[in-house]
């Protein structure tokens, strides 16, 4: 193995029933390097990580690690750890009801006795050397998500780790916490740890990585040093085509501005989770709620759809006063809602893609009027094709699809009901760039056809690209409404931050 | 991307109950080649009737099969089980007898009225259970523990503590044979219930909604499904199943014994659902599996009787067989079996064998 290389994977192949998840993939990680692993959903990132950590056995190829002459076989995460390969997953996998120190050393003692003092001393030393703001005796659950993540990393690092895998570590962190995490990553890098960084956020890749490997459809596309790969080219590599730029989208935006007569109007609408607010949207309009996490943007749209218990307010649809206190009433008024938390509120995990697609329309059609199998199949086929949903078949349970494709299924579910007003709460979260652009384009096309859309996204650029009017929220109150010339990133930031004008 | 042919998931779910039945059949055939022979004989009244172990199994499992159908729905929707079905059947049976004895004599009309009355009562108690589970979010086993505990006392009160008999040709036609029809009536009732359920599944969205609620209640609500109502409905349907089983049970003996009618059947009903390959945690379900499970349990009982196992020992033997069935059906054994199968077929590791069909 060449000098300085800590991990080398050669010609890795792995198939699942119906899919070749990885074919001839090479991956090289050097000492003290942060190596971003990029690719769209279903590109094979997770599979590669799982092969490396022994979750899946590989079908072909070799893995070499620094210090071992022959190719190694990794049969379980425990074996991976023994070779010095540690993983910190997207979801925190520690125990929130134990202390920080306990979490760092749990399951690692040799005997049954525990030297609590020694454990806490060691934990304290490690935490402070890594600059992690947590005390050993603090309950883990009382730390912020970012700190919990960093404790997970500290635990991984302490197990004499040569290769540290961070799988989407930043997706639930705010900017400050991301900065904190990056500081820790750079620190580990300086100690010679090789870090594999899996993420969807392009900016973060450029901020912290040294090298980028791009996968697409289970195959290796390229490996670049980060300063030799401009962002636009990276996106093109991931999507496998020249970017039909975001400019194209911008031009069509004008379409969203010639708004028709109001479709939905609310006055003093409030729910158990949101404070009273006024809101309206016109036919063919795309508007959005923006604000920091917890600002009340999701709660507001949930109130519109009747997802939480509505406690007051007047609502008019198409000028007529209506009562919307339950989702079914909203649906009957032509409103659709794609929820923020896909796993919790969106997918019916064990049901097939077909059943997941027809669900909302079926409910609107009624209990005594089930779709025939042929009708259901027709709908499913139509939308699997239209949205390019990647699934082995329409009978596949939705839980075995990748995140982006699950999201497309939920989107298909609502499009099938032909709503007049569609609410999309974070439709692009955790989704690759290609699908993101597709969804944005789709939103604008629907608006052109006269549908109104309310769009929520944590990425301001995405909101600016799609919305013609932005409602800005802070601390559960609407603090501003921006349109036209005011729709610039600076202006939005300024309003969110409370500059006010 | 390579497409593959996969085994139908429904078939693989039915594998366990079918396997259990198959093993019992083969075992009995080896033991006694004539075990399953069916003969046409005349009964005391001179009517032709079918006799034999096979008929005993099908006939004896009727109440269990009907309860298993309802239990499947409750399990799927609520992710829990109703342990009060035996007690509720006793209440329904007592109500049936009470109405029959209220009139001057037993006529087809009083039987229909009695059935309707006991259905109404059972549905009301089902709604009680269902309300505790769906509105008050009490775990199904705890919620139904209430009726499990007091149900047979309620049945006792209905007939003032007596165990009255209801002697009538109509009742014996329900409990044993309709004159001229050689098939025991309870078997026909099971078929009728099966047909009704399949019609309900065909002409309503009960199956889709129940599974949706069982898998993800929150998401079901956001798609406009009345999740509370669906759970309630499942318990009410199970109530109807209890009423039908109770009526069959009463009619077999032409009397109501509230202490022994369908005693301990709740555990067999739950077991039938489990043997049928259904997750007891709710969600996706397969009612055919549960029905096959019910017959497998009854086949086991009859086999043990045929082997002259003393009735006090039967439960212990049953337990051993159940351990085997459950162990064979467990994911660990299934996977090991799958690996073995792959190795035998083409010497490749599991997960790859026979998968790639087209290039």
Q: B21-78: per-residue pLDDT in tens? A: 998 899 999 988 888 889 888 888 788 899 999 999 999 999 999 999 999 999 999 9
Tokens of A91: 């979801």
Q: What percent of chain B has pLDDT over 90?
A: 64
Report chain B residues whose CB lies below 8 A from the CB of A390: 1
> Which chain A residue has the Cα nearest residue B204?
A368
Q: What is the mean pLDDT of each run of 10 residues along chain A (501 residues)?
A: 84 82 92 90 84 90 88 87 84 82 78 78 88 88 83 83 87 78 90 89 86 90 89 75 49 50 93 91 91 80 94 93 94 94 91 96 94 95 91 91 89 95 88 80 88 87 87 86 83 71 40
How far A345 CA sits from the closest chain B CA (Å)? 4
Tokens of A335: 């409103």
Helices B206-215, B62-78: inter-axial angle, 10-degree rounding: 50
How far B291 CA sits from the closest chain A CA (Å)? 22
**What integer pLDDT is reported at residue A500 of this predicted model?**
43
Strand A163-167 and strand A85-88: the pairing is: parallel
> Which member of B208, B219, B352 has the closest CB to residue A346?
B219
> Which member of B205, B222, B225 has the closest CB to residue A339?
B222
> Which chain B residue has the Cα nearest residue A59?
B352
For residue A238, what are the contacts with CB-CB under 8 A and spacing of at least 6? A38, A39, A40, A43, A214, A216, A221, A432, A433, A434
> Which chain A residue has the Cα nearest residue B213?
A348
Distance separating alpha carbons of residues B127 and B111, to the nearest angstrom = 24
A350 to B283: CB separation less than 8 angstroms, yes or no: yes
Which among A449, A36, A29 has a CA at the least distance from the CA of A234?
A: A36
> Which member of A57, A327, A347 has the closest CB to residue B224?
A327
Say if CB A284 and CB A259 are below 8 A apart. yes
B208 to A339: CB separation less than 8 angstroms, yes or no: no
B215 to A350: CB separation less than 8 angstroms, yes or no: yes
Collapse the DSSP code of B93 into the 3-class scheme (helix H, G, I; strand E, B; otherwise coil) and give the result.
Answer: helix
> Which chain A residue has the Cα nearest residue B10?
A395
Distance separating alpha carbons of residues B206 and A368, to the nearest angstrom = 9
**Which residues, given as ranges, of chain B have pLDDT below 50?**
1-6, 348-359
Instruction: Name the superfamily (CATH) of residues A244-334+421-426+447-501.
Output: P-loop containing nucleotide triphosphate hydrolases (3.40.50.300)
Say if CB A409 and CB A385 are below 8 A apart. no
Task: State pTM to two decimals.
Answer: 0.77
Question: Residue A64: how many CA atoms within 13 Å on its side-chain side?
Answer: 18
Collapse the DSSP code of B14 into the 3-class scheme (helix H, G, I; strand E, B; otherwise coil) and give the result.
Answer: helix
Which among A20, A60, A68, A28 has a CA at the least distance from the CA of A44?
A: A20
In chain A, what are the domain boundaries? 5-239, 244-334+421-426+447-501, 339-418
A363 to B225: CB separation less than 8 angstroms, yes or no: yes
In chain B, what are the domain boundaries? 61-290, 316-352
Sign of CA dihedral B328, B333, B339, B344: negative
B284 to A350: CB separation less than 8 angstroms, yes or no: yes
A327 to B352: CB separation less than 8 angstroms, yes or no: no
Which candidate in A47, A330, A370, A376 is best for mutational testing of the B interface (most B CBs within 10 A)? A370
Tokens of B54: 């096979």
Say if CB B122 and CB B246 are below 8 A apart. yes
**DSSP codes joined into one string, A243-305:** ---HHHHHHHGGGGGS--SEEEEEEEEEESSS--EEEEEETT-EEEEE-STTSSHHHHHHHHH
For residue B166, what are the contacts with CB-CB under 8 A and spacing of at least 6? B97, B100, B101, B106, B250, B254, B255, B256
Strand A310-317 and strand A262-271: the pairing is: antiparallel
How far B244 CA sits from the closest chain A CA (Å)? 24
B224 to A360: CB separation less than 8 angstroms, yes or no: yes
CA distances from B154 to A423, B125, B151, B157 (A): 52, 11, 5, 5
How far B194 CA sits from the closest chain A CA (Å)? 19
> Which chain A residue has the Cα nearest residue B224?
A328
> Which chain B residue has the Cα nearest residue A346?
B219
Sign of CA dihedral A219, A220, A226, A227: negative
Report ipTM for this prediction: 0.86
Report CA dihedral (B182, B183, B185, B188) to the nearest 10 degrees: -140
**What integer pLDDT is reported at residue A438 of this predicted model?**
84
- The CATH T-level fold of domain A5-239 is Rossmann fold (3.40.50)
Say if CB A284 and CB A452 are below 8 A apart. yes
A413 to B223: CB separation less than 8 angstroms, yes or no: yes
Block residue for tokens 């570590």:
A169
Say if CB A404 and CB A43 are below 8 A apart. no
> Which member of A337, A346, A351 has the closest CB to residue B212?
A351
> Which member of B4, B203, B221 has the closest CB to residue A370?
B203
CA distances from B168 to A184, A380, B74, B254, B270 (A): 85, 56, 35, 8, 33
Neighbours of B124 (CB within 10 A): 12
> Which member of A18, A19, A370 has the closest CB to residue B205?
A370
B212 to A348: CB separation less than 8 angstroms, yes or no: yes
Tokens of A322: 């209506």
How far A259 CA sits from the closest chain B CA (Å)? 28
**What integer pLDDT is reported at residue A210 of this predicted model?**
94
Q: How far apart are the first and last CA of chain A?
A: 62
As a whole number of angstroms, the longest Cα–Cα distance in chain B is 78
Say if CB A218 and CB A44 are below 8 A apart. yes
Query: How does pLDDT run across A129-186, given as a tens digit for each residue?
Result: 888 888 999 898 888 877 888 888 888 888 778 899 998 887 777 777 888 889 989 9
A367 to B223: CB separation less than 8 angstroms, yes or no: no
Say if CB A157 and CB A130 are below 8 A apart. yes
Chain A residues within 8 Å of chain B (Cβ atoms): 15-20, 57, 59, 305, 307, 326-328, 331, 337, 339, 344-351, 355, 359-360, 362-364, 366-370, 390, 392, 395, 413
Angle at B191 between CA B187 and CA B196, to 5 degrees: 145
Distance separating alpha carbons of residues A205 and A226, to the nearest angstrom = 8
Backbone φ and ψ of A173, nearest 5°: -105, 150
Size of the A and B interface in Cβ pairs below 8 Å: 97
A363 to B215: CB separation less than 8 angstroms, yes or no: no
Establish whether domains A5-239 and A244-334+421-426+447-501 are of one fold. yes
B204 to A367: CB separation less than 8 angstroms, yes or no: yes
For residue B317, what are the contacts with CB-CB under 8 A and spacing of at least 6? B304, B309
Distance separating alpha carbons of residues A117 and B212, to the nearest angstrom = 50
> Which chain A residue has the Cα nearest residue B1?
A19
Backbone φ and ψ of A318, nearest 5°: 55, 35
Helices B62-78, B287-306: inter-axial angle, 10-degree rounding: 140
Distance separating alpha carbons of residues B40 and B47, to the nearest angstrom = 10
Q: What does the buried/exposed string (b/e) look like for A428-455 if buried means 16 or more CB atoms within 10 Å of the residue's CB?
A: bbbbbbbbbbbbbbbbbebbeeebbbbb
Neighbours of A195 (CB within 10 A): 23
Report chain A residues whose CB lies below 8 A from the CB of B219: 339, 344-348
């Amino acid at each position: 193995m060449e000098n300085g290389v800590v991990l080398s994977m050669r010609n890795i192949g792995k198939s699942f029933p119906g899919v070749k998840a990885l074919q001839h993939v090479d991956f090289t990680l050097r000492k003290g390097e942060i190596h971003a692993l990029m690719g769209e959903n279903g590109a094979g990132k997770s599979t590669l990580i799982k092969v490396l950590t022994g979750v899946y056995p590989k079908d072909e190829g070799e893995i070499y690690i620094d210090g071992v002459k022959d190719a190694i076989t990794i049969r379980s995460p425990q074996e991976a750890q023994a070779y010095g390969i540690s993983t910190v997953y997207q979801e925190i996998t520690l125990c929130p009801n134990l202390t920080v120190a306990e979490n760092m050393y749990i399951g690692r003692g040799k005997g049954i006795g525990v030297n609590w003092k020694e454990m806490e001393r060691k934990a304290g030393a490690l935490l402070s050397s890594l600059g992690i703001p947590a005390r050993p005796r603090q309950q883990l659950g009382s730390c912020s998500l970012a700190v919990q993540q960093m404790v997970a990393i500290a635990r991984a690092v302490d197990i004499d780790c040569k290769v540290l895998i961070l799988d989407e570590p930043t997706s639930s962190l705010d900017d400050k916490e991301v900065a904190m995490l990056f500081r820790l990553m750079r620190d580990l890098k300086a100690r010679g740890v090789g870090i594999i960084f899996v993420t969807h956020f392009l900016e973060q890749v450029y901020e912290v990585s040294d090298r980028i490997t791009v996968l697409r459809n289970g195959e290796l596309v390229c490996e670049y040093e980060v300063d030799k790969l401009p962002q636009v080219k990276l996106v093109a590599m991931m999507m496998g085509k020249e970017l039909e730029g975001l400019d194209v989208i911008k031009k069509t935006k004008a379409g969203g501005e010639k708004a028709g007569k109001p479709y939905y109007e609310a006055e003093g609408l409030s729910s158990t989770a949101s404070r009273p607010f006024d809101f309206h949207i016109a036919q063919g309009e795309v508007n959005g709620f923006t604000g920091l996490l917890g600002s009340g943007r999701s709660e507001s749209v949930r109130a519109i759809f009747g997802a939480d218990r509505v406690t007051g307010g007047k609502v008019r649809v198409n000028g007529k006063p209506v009562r919307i206190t339950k989702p079914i009433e909203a649906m009957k008024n032509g409103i659709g809602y794609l929820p923020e938390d896909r796993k919790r509120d969106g997918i019916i995990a064990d049901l097939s893609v077909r059943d997941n697609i027809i669900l909302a329309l079926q409910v609107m059609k009624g209990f005594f009027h089930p779709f025939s199998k042929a009708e259901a199949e027709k709908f499913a086929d139509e939308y699997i094709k239209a949205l390019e949903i990647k699934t082995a078949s329409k009978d596949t349970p939705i839980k075995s699809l990748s995140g982006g494709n699950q999201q497309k299924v939920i989107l298909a579910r609502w499009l099938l009901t032909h709503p007049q007003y569609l609410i999309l709460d974070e439709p692009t979260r955790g989704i690759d760039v290609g699908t993101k652009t597709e969804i944005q384009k789709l939103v604008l096309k629907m608006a052109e056809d006269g549908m109104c859309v309310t769009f929520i996204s944590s990425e301001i650029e995405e909101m600016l690209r799609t919305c013609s009017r932005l409602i800005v929220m802070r601390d559960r109150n609407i603090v501003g409404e921006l349109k036209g010339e005011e729709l610039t990133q600076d202006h939005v930031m300024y309003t969110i931050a409370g500059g006010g004008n | 991307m390579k497409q593959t042919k996969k085994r139908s998931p429904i078939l693989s779910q039915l594998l366990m109950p079918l396997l259990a039945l198959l093993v019992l059949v083969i075992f009995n055939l080896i033991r006694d080649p004539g075990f399953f022979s069916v003969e046409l004989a005349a009964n005391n009244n001179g009517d032709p009737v079918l006799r034999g172990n096979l008929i005993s199994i099908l006939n004896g499992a009727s109440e269990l099969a009907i309860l298993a159908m309802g239990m499947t729905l409750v399990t799927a929707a609520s992710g829990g089980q109703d342990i009060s079905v035996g007690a509720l059947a006793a209440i329904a049976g007592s109500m049936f007898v009470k109405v029959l004895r209220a009139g001057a004599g037993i006529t087809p009309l009083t039987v229909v009225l009695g059935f309707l009355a006991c259905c109404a009562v059972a549905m009301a108690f089902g709604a009680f259970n269902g309300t505790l589970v769906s509105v008050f979010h009490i775990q199904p086993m705890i919620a139904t523990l209430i009726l499990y505990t007091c149900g047979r006392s309620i049945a006792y009160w209905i007939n003032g503590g007596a165990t009255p008999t209801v002697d009538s040709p109509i009742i014996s036609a329900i409990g044993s044979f309709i004159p001229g029809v050689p098939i025991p009536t309870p078997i026909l009732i099971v078929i009728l219930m099966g047909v009704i359920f399949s019609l309900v599944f065909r002409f309503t969205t009960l199956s889709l909604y129940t599974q949706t609620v069982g898998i993800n209640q929150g998401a079901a609500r956001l798609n406009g499904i009345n999740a509370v109502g669906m759970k309630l409905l499942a318990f009410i349907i199970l109530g109807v199943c209890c009423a039908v089983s109770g009526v069959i049970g009463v009619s077999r003996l032409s009397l109501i014994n509230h202490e022994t009618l369908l005693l301990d059947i709740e555990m067999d009903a739950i077991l039938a659902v489990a043997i049928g390959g259904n997750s007891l945690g709710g969600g996706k379900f397969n009612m055919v599996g549960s029905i096959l499970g019910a017959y497998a349990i009854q086949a086991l009982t009859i086999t043990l009787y045929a082997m002259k196992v003393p009735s006090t020992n039967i439960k212990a033997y049953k337990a051993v067989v159940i351990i085997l069935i459950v162990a064979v059906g467990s994911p660990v054994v299934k996977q090991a079996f799958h690996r073995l199968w792959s190795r035998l077929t083409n010497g490749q590791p599991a997960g790859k064998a026979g998968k790639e069909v087209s290039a």
